[in-house]
Amino acid sequence: MKITHLGASTIIVEHKKKRIMFDPWLDDGIVYGAWFRWPPSKILPQQVGKLDYIIISHIHEDHCSAGTLKHLDKNAEVIIMDRRPNFVKKFLDYNQFNFKKVHLIKPYEIKKVFSDLYVSFVEADEENYFSYLIDSGIVLKSNDKVLYNSNDCLPSTKAIKFIKDNFKQVDLALLPYTGVSGYPNCYLNLTHKQKIKEAKRVTIERLKLLEDTADKIKPKLIMPFADQFVIGGKNSYLNKYSPHPPSIKFVSDYFKRKKDFKFLLLNINQSYDLKKNKKSPNKKFKSHTNKEREIFIKKISKVQYDNDKVKLNQAISEERLLEYASKRLFAEQLKQNYKTNWNLLFNIKDKDESKKFLIDLNESKLKKLNGSFPKTNGKPCLTMNIDKDVFIMLLLGHMSWNMADGALFILYNRVPNKFDPKLYAFINYLKV
């Protein structure tokens, strides 16, 4: 079994003359024009060549890019986890990506793909509501090697037990070392110094999660994986607050004290043969610096986002759309019996004007506000400052709230400064 790293969360596994791609993302400017691969890669989707299988963990563009998939070998068979709702299957159908076949494999099922190669999907931790809803981890097993790809999600206790009980020894674990969100980059309730401090705290927190997973699974090799990107365009100045280190070597350096942790660091387009324990080409890993990343960010700081390229009709009423979207949100609240004391405040900016709205999630009510925001009276409040065109695209469903957050399109003010994962996941229902 040989793996080739193509950048970010995309690899190709070769086994017995079959080629299997994991989570295709090879085009820049995804996530509404904001995301670019870091380190940059010159590999284009058209250059991938013959594929036998494509395994997709979840719907996010850095794992499932339409701009990449449309150029890939349509004779390939796609393998995804069988779940309800199945966002990946809907995405493939909607875009009419007519690959040879789509295999739906239930979580914790061990399915033979060909010859001695088997694949299994494991679920994300249920406590991470949004990750559990969409993400999956993948285990690939041959007669003598086991590869575990955690993608963006940390495994649940059930997933870890399944891996240990059924696969004994994991030879290579691809583990996330960071995450995607607008925190602390976009939080106006934090000062510059507080953002820098919080970014460091989040970095260490994420590394400890990687450590906990590795301690439980005990793989022979660990490859720090996924979420290798930077933000371009007018929001690129916010990259300086990112919890993402400039190089995955930061991860191996951080764990030098852990003598039982062995790291595999691959350059883009570099391969590793798990059986022969050899890299090809046999080159030293190139560790990128903050300065190199800043130079690259400057080059992409002038790119336009989707909303910059489209001029929306000024007659479109964000207020009317918000009314419709709020009704859907409140219906979902009732369905899930979800109540919270958080208020959502919206400051919608259009040139020199702004409109303000309040959604009281405790009372399930929408209010249009005049003038300044009211006093909170001790209630927790999440204020979102959003450009009108972005807000309309969010309400219409062209943009997802989760990915707009990761693209740094929303500036927040959060009081108190406490993260409620269910709240942020629930905001995704605010669309018509």
Whether the per-residue pLDDT at 423 is higher than 90: the answer is yes
Whether residue 293 is found in the same domain as residue 360? no
CB 327: neighbour CB atoms within 10 A? 13
CA atoms of 130 and 126, how far apart (whole Å):
9
371 CB burial (10 A radius; 0-12, 13-18, 19+): exposed
Last residue of a domain, one of 265, 299, 333: 299
CATH of the domain at 358: 3.30.1050.10
Mean pLDDT of 362-384: 91
pLDDT at 155: 86
Whether residue 174 is found in the same domain as residue 250? yes
Q: What is the CA radius of gyration of the chain?
A: 22
pLDDT at 351: 84
What pLDDT band is residue 154 in, cutting at 50, 70 and 90? Answer: confident
pLDDT at 75: 98
Segment 298-348, tens digit of pLDDT: 999 999 999 999 889 889 999 999 999 999 999 999 999 999 999 999 999
Whether residue 259 is found in the same domain as residue 327? no
Assigned token pair, 343: 């208020």
Amino acid at 82: D
Question: Taking a C-beta distance cutoff of 8 angstroms, is the pair 408, 34 a contact?
Answer: yes
Answer whether residue 138 is part of any domain.
yes
Last residue of a domain, one of 299, 330, 363: 299
Whether residue 283 is found in the same domain as residue 378? no
Instruction: State the chain's mean pLDDT as an integer.
Output: 95
Whether residue 182 is found in the same domain as residue 43? yes
CA atoms of 205 and 223, how far apart (whole Å):
18
Whether the per-residue pLDDT at 14 is higher than 90: the answer is yes
Whether residue 130 is found in the same domain as residue 202? yes
Question: Taking a C-beta distance cutoff of 8 angstroms, is the pair 165, 157 a contact?
Answer: no
Whether the per-residue pLDDT at 62 is higher than 90: the answer is yes
The gap between the terminal CA atoms of the chain, to the nearest Å, is 47
Question: What is the number of structural domains in the chain?
Answer: 2
Question: Taking a C-beta distance cutoff of 8 angstroms, is the pair 101, 76 a contact?
Answer: no
CB 77: neighbour CB atoms within 10 A? 17
Segment 241-300, tens digit of pLDDT: 999 999 999 999 999 999 999 999 999 999 999 999 999 999 999 999 999 999 999 999
Whether the per-residue pLDDT at 125 is higher than 90: the answer is no
One-character DSSP codes across 256-318: TT-TT--B----TTEEEETTTTEEES-----PPPHHHHHHHHHHTTTPPPHHHH----TT--H
Answer whether residue 39 is part of any domain.
yes
CA atoms of 13 and 104, how far apart (whole Å):
20
Secondary structure (3-state) at 420: coil
pLDDT at 371: 83
Whether residue 51 is found in the same domain as residue 191? yes
Mean pLDDT of 87-98: 95
In the chain, the percentage of residues whose pLDDT exceeds 70 is 100
CB 191: neighbour CB atoms within 10 A? 10
Provide the H-helix boundaries in 352-420.
388-396, 401-406
Whether residue 118 is found in the same domain as residue 267? yes
**Residue-number span of the structural domain to which 100 is assigned:** 2-299
In the chain, the percentage of residues whose pLDDT exceeds 90 is 89
Nearest to 56 by CA among 94, 83, 33, 29: 83
Question: Taking a C-beta distance cutoff of 8 angstroms, is the pair 221, 170 a contact?
Answer: no
What pLDDT band is residue 128 in, cutting at 50, 70 and 90? Answer: confident
Whether residue 317 is found in the same domain as residue 274? no
Nearest to 37 by CA among 2, 77, 9: 9
pLDDT at 368: 95
Question: Taking a C-beta distance cutoff of 8 angstroms, is the pair 66, 93 a contact?
Answer: no
Answer whether residue 304 is part of any domain.
no
pLDDT at 34: 98
Nearest to 85 by CA among 379, 429, 414: 429
Assigned token pair, 178: 């960071």
CA atoms of 382 and 369, how far apart (whole Å):
15
Is there a cis peptide before residue 246, judged by omega within 30 degrees of 0?
A: no
CA atoms of 8 and 228, how far apart (whole Å):
5
Mean pLDDT of 221-233: 95
Assigned token pair, 376: 């909170």
CA atoms of 357 and 369, how far apart (whole Å):
5
Whether residue 295 is found in the same domain as residue 313? no
53 CB burial (10 A radius; 0-12, 13-18, 19+): buried
Answer whether residue 209 is part of any domain.
yes
Whether residue 143 is found in the same domain as residue 290? yes
Whether the per-residue pLDDT at 205 is higher than 90: the answer is yes
Whether the per-residue pLDDT at 359 is higher than 80: the answer is yes
Assigned token pair, 22: 């994991």
Last residue of a domain, one of 299, 325, 347: 299
CA atoms of 390 and 409, how far apart (whole Å):
8
CATH of the domain at 47: 3.60.15.10
Assigned token pair, 171: 């030879």
Whether the per-residue pLDDT at 129 is higher than 80: the answer is no
Tokens 């280190």 map to which residue? 245
Whether residue 106 is found in the same domain as residue 47? yes
CA atoms of 333 and 361, how far apart (whole Å):
8
